Amino acid sequence: MVAELDDQVVGFIAYELKGERGEVVLLAVHPEFQRRGIATQLNQAALDEMKAAGAKLAVAETGGEAGHAPARRAYEKAGYTGLPLVRYFKDL
């Protein structure tokens, strides 16, 4: 889904359905348009579509560093609950 203002794309959200689980793959709002409720509206539209498709759980993940703070705020505002997780990576 995309969010537009004055015929300009200012944000988007992509999600996948995996059985009874919906997963946000990507959420982005142009920095000049952040903190205007656009991410909240995109999240709600995606959640509504997930629920209508039969999803019982929605999942989203983002980074813990400062650059992802806007995404964390958007997910929390949309009602997601953050869980303390650790994901390990290793170059091979």
Question: In this structure, is residue 87 part of a structural domain?
Answer: no
Distance separating alpha carbons of residues 92 and 82, to the nearest angstrom: 30
Domain count, the chain: 1
Residue 35 belongs to domain spanning: 2-77
Supply 85's token pair: 């997780």
Question: In this structure, is residue 66 part of a structural domain?
Answer: yes
Q: Looking at the DSSP assignment, which residues form a beta bridge with residue 8? A: 5
Assign residue 22 the CATH number of its domain: 3.40.630.30
Q: Per residue in 45-69, pLDDT tens?
A: 999 999 999 999 999 999 888 988 9
Q: Per residue in 30-44, pLDDT tens?
A: 999 999 999 999 999
Question: In this structure, is residue 84 part of a structural domain?
Answer: no
